[in-house]
Structure 1
Amino acid sequence: MTTTEQGPTAVTERALGPDLARGFMLLFIALANSHYFLRGPSVLGGYPQDGSAIDRAATWLIATFVDGRAFPMFGLLFGYGVAQIVRRRTGTAWATRFLLWRRSLVLVVLGLLHATLLYVGDILGAYGVLLFLGVWAIRWKDRWLLIVAVLFLALTALPSDTSLSINADPPDVSMLPPDFGTQVVERLKVTPLIAFLGPIGFATPFLVGLWAGRRRILERPAEHLRLLKATAVAGVTIAVLGAQPVALTLSRVIDRPTGDTLSLVGPLHDVSGTIGGFGYAALIVLIATRIRRGRVTEAIAATGQRSLTCYLMQSVIWTVVFTPYLLDLSDTLTVATTALLAAGAWMLTVFLADRMRRANYRGPFELLIRRITYRTGVSSRPAVRR
């Protein structure tokens, strides 16, 4: 299939770095999502507090390197992808906005179905709402993109004791419904709230992604090595250090803070995680410039190219394993064994994505969103420029 400026990017034209980042970060998404299903006599930040030393070590690792660090990186790549779409369009600004609004509508509808039927913590709806509003930013000057991004980051940094990272509530009935009817009713109550509040946290990485996409920083790393290296070192360092108050609390090394301290450690974890998402993206893109395209690299990149399908496949696994009227393993699995389950789920999606790559198949949900976005029949075979 011959691509045009208005169509989706051909697989042969895709840079390795962003796809590798999406594929690898889906492992972190799996680790971040799955532990919130666990129950116990005492739960803090989604982690049962009665686990073994191995569970405590796993908690520290996930809270330090994963929680609140993977989703900002996806927000960055989401904005980066929007910048790519805008760059490839040859029509008017309004035509581009309508194309992106169609894309946002698909994400909102898909997110609603995903949250209702599979995983209540869906982010697709939030991305859809963010894109619906964010189309007005595609023509902003660079300085306004960065100024507004900083303002949203400052909003995230405001003292608050409502951060998920320090929440002491166990999974509620919307997360672990006793039956399908309750699941639908309860999730329809909370899903719109998540979809409309989520963009507040994703706005900063989205706007920075727009800015980076205009400069093709992740596609042309050789031209931006100094920036990428500085971002990787600073971002990962800030993410690790900023996570320690929460990570040490969740792993029971220190006591849970109270009062004013409690209202500071959650936002610190969230803000450092956003910056860490930038660092992770930069680090993986730098690694992509150094490694050879082997079987493992191609398989993980194929996962990144089909990140939507693979993300939804993970939710199918969580639904089967944790839902009370199915396997109901929320009381059985521990933090450590759930981490192993998450790693296994990710490896399964890597295997399936690589099989799709070998079959020259784009992926069912990627195909769906492209068909609706571009209002044309996009081949299920990856586009190749002749």
Structure 2
Amino acid sequence: MSIQGGPTGLSERALGPDLARGFMLLFIALANSHYFVYGDRIFGGFPTDGSAVDRAVGMVISTFVDGRAFPMFGVLFGYGVAQIVRRQREAGNDWWPIRKLLWRRSLVLVVLGFLHAMLLYIGDILAAYGVLLFLGVWALRWKDRWLFIVAAFVLVLTALPSDGSLATSSDAADPAMLPPTFLGQFADRIVAQPYIAGLGWIGFVTPFLIGLWAGRRRILERPAEHLTLLRTTALIGLTVAVAGALPVSLVVGGVLAPPSDQAGNILGPLHDATGVLGGFGYAALIVLIARRLSDRQSTVTLAIAAVGQRSLTCYLCQSVVWAVVFTPYLLDLSRTLTVATTALLAVATWLATVVLADRMRRANYRGPFELLIRRVTYRTAATRSRSSGSLA
């Protein structure tokens, strides 16, 4: 039994959203790690001078992962907010206390995101989520049509051509990403992080609003009632995402020559905008799979769902690996590892978090960061916070 108006207890959780979060953390590991690989020429975040295997792996990641995993988390983030609101309303709480609760949650995300960016990984998304939640509380009472109108408007804006959005680069490694010294990383990152947090949330607006709408209808929790919608979303979303990614991924794979700057200004936003639909498609597909597995949950299924329940802790664990492996004043392997071997590292890192999360599940222990964020959000003692936890 969960606390009245508090987080959902494990026994009350639906498998689909947790399984989606857990599996997508593999994609996030693949999406983040290749940006650390050094190359004389970089296109779309991938070195263009690697081996045939590296180019093939890069093509697969560019097609199915980059710009597709994070939008799905945006959907689940909005969905989770809708769940919080529903529980608070069912507990009899008014809108103003609910807003204050969500603002406390946003503050925790911003602070955690800042520390994460300063100490581990400048590509942090937690602070951007925090800013999005701080602003997004005003959308909680919007009618459905306004959620769709604003979501579509922002999606169209992100699809418009943008100068310098996709180009081949020969610049040296970004010191904010790969700081040469421990003290120097703070000087470089303190400048970059506010821009990332202050602007990064814009790319999550569309999936967040659609997630709010889906959460109102409990679509991911009750897939049997929405099979046609989920199947259509999975088919169309993933088809559009793959088609929209091909112009970039074929270049990454060495099949096509790099486009002109003018063409890149079109293809980059196209890759990202179609990736948002891919995020919807992945969420729908994994929930459909979870529905098939719900009556016969294996150890593997439960372990991956445990990652989803502790997605914040597992996400931060990934960053610890990136910091140790790639930071120049630590192992400094950005020039040693390739796209292919870094992908193997990403898979191994994710598998390690699966094992870790499963051990916590068996011990009936929420991740430490899940406990922290809920303690601040709900102002509950640690012993009462042993309930669900995730990035959403």
Shorter-chain TM-score tier: over 0.9
Query: Structure 2 counterpart of 1:262, which letter?
Result: G
Matched, 1:64 2:63: yes
Distance change (3 Å), C-alpha of 1:383 and 1:200: closer
Task: Tell me what 2:332 maps to.
Answer: 328
Report 1:96-245 matches (<5 A): 96-163=98-165, 166=167, 168=169, 169=171, 171-245=173-247
TM-score (norm 1): 0.97
Aligned-pair CA distance for 1:171: 3.3
8 Å contact kept, 1:303–1:310? yes
73-82 or 249-258, larger mean C-alpha shift = 249-258
Task: Tell me what 2:350 maps to.
Answer: 346
Aligned-pair CA distance for 1:5: 3.4
Query: Structure 2 counterpart of 1:79, which letter?
Result: G
Aligned residues: 382
8 Å contact kept, 1:302–1:353? yes
Stretches (4+) displaced over 3 A? 380-384
Tell me the SS of whatever aligns to 1:254: coil
Cα distance in 2, alignment partners of residues 231 and 175 from structure 1: 35
Aligned-pair CA distance for 1:294: 0.3
Cα distance in 2, alignment partners of residues 275 and 162 from structure 1: 23
Cα distance in 2, alignment partners of residues 238 and 115 from structure 1: 32
Cα distance in 1, alignment partners of residues 340 and 352 from structure 2: 19
Query: Structure 1 counterpart of 2:44, which letter?
Result: G
Task: Tell me what 1:93 maps to.
Answer: 95
Report 1:193-342 matches (<5 A): 193-291=195-293, 292-342=296-346
Q: Which runs of 5+ in 1 are unaligned?
A: none
TM-score (norm 2): 0.95
Task: Tell me what 1:53 maps to.
Answer: 52
Tell me the SS of whatever aligns to 1:270: helix
8 Å contact kept, 1:303–1:349? yes
Cα distance in 2, alignment partners of residues 146 and 5 from structure 1: 31
Cα distance in 1, alignment partners of residues 48 and 3 from structure 2: 54
Task: Tell me what 2:79 maps to.
Answer: 80
Tell me the SS of whatever aligns to 1:290: helix
Query: Structure 1 counterpart of 2:75, which letter?
Result: L
8 Å contact kept, 1:232–1:278? yes
Q: Deviations 1:272-296 (Å, cap 9, x if unpaired)?
A: 1000000000000000111220000
Cα distance in 1, alignment partners of residues 210 and 266 from structure 2: 25
* Percent of residue pairs identical: 69
Tell me the SS of whatever aligns to 2:67: coil
Distance change (3 Å), C-alpha of 1:103 and 1:53: same
8 Å contact kept, 2:168–2:258? no
Q: Deviations 1:327-379 (Å, cap 9, x if unpaired)?
A: 00000000000000000000000000000000110110000000000011143
Cα distance in 2, alignment partners of residues 46 and 380 from structure 1: 43
Cα distance in 2, alignment partners of residues 130 and 279 from structure 1: 22
Q: Which runs of 5+ in 2 are unaligned?
A: none
Could you say what the CA RMSD is over the residues aligned between the two structures, in angstroms?
Answer: 1.3
Distance change (3 Å), C-alpha of 1:272 and 1:170: farther
